[in-house]
């Protein structure tokens, strides 16, 4: 399907995914190390770092491991030995997980970049038939294309907004514009 500017749905999804990733990475790059693990007492708010970990892990488990049918990047590469945490079985963050989470920022960003490259490479090369294949999501079936838009673009953008809000509470700019 072509959009008015000649961009097809694959190109549109790839550009949206890249933009969401760019915003997330720009926020993390501006975030001081001490703020990555800061929590707000008396709230259920997760730290910026644990939200970032969740965002990356979800892409790796759900997109790479689930929709793409590959081993997660965490296991495929040596990155798992560097990030400072074990890959959970589920991307769902529990309060216990976030309280006890430790990580190394630069290897984590390297891991995020490797997951991004794997997803983008798949979106670029996958056949149209594969992208239109339906997979279960909750009570109904959705196309893989829809799933990449939802678990890729929307999920990243929503958590980047959460990170930006937490940075804003500290007087920092969380959005890149």
User: How many distinct structural domains can be found in the chain?
Assistant: 1
Q: Give a yes or no: residue 92 inside a domain.
A: yes
Residue 61 has pLDDT above 90, yes or no: yes
Domain containing residue 117: CATH number: 1.20.120.450
Residue 7 has pLDDT above 70, yes or no: no
> In which domain, by residue range, is 27 found?
9-32+45-169
Burial of residue 5 (number of CB atoms within 10 Å: 0-12, 13-18, 19+): exposed
Band (6; pLDDT cuts 50, 70, 90): low
* Distance from C-alpha of 107 to C-alpha of 118, rounded to nearest angstrom: 16
40-51: average pLDDT: 88
CB 83 within 8 A of CB 107: yes
Band (49; pLDDT cuts 50, 70, 90): very high
Q: Give a yes or no: residue 40 inside a domain.
A: no
* Distance from C-alpha of 50 to C-alpha of 33, rounded to nearest angstrom: 13
What are 160-177's pLDDT values in tens digits? Answer: 999 999 999 999 988 877
């Amino acid at each position: 399907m072509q959009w008015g500017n000649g961009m097809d749905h694959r190109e549109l999804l790839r550009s949206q995914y890249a933009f969401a990733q760019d915003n997330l990475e720009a926020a993390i790059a501006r975030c001081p190390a001490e703020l990555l693990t800061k929590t707000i007492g008396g709230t259920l708010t997760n730290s910026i770092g644990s939200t970032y970990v969740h965002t990356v892990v979800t892409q790796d488990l759900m997109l790479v491991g689930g929709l793409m049918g590959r081993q997660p990047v965490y296991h495929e590469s040596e990155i798992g030995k560097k990030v400072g945490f074990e890959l959970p079985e589920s991307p769902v963050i529990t309060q216990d997980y976030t309280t006890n989470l430790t990580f190394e920022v630069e290897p984590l960003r390297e891991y995020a970049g490797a997951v991004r490259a794997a997803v983008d490479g798949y979106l670029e090369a996958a056949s149209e038939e594969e992208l239109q294949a339906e997979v279960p999501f909750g009570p109904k079936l959705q196309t893989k294309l829809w799933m990449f838009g939802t678990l890729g673009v929307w999920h990243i953008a929503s958590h980047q907004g959460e990170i930006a809000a937490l940075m804003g509470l500290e007087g920092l700019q969380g959005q890149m514009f």
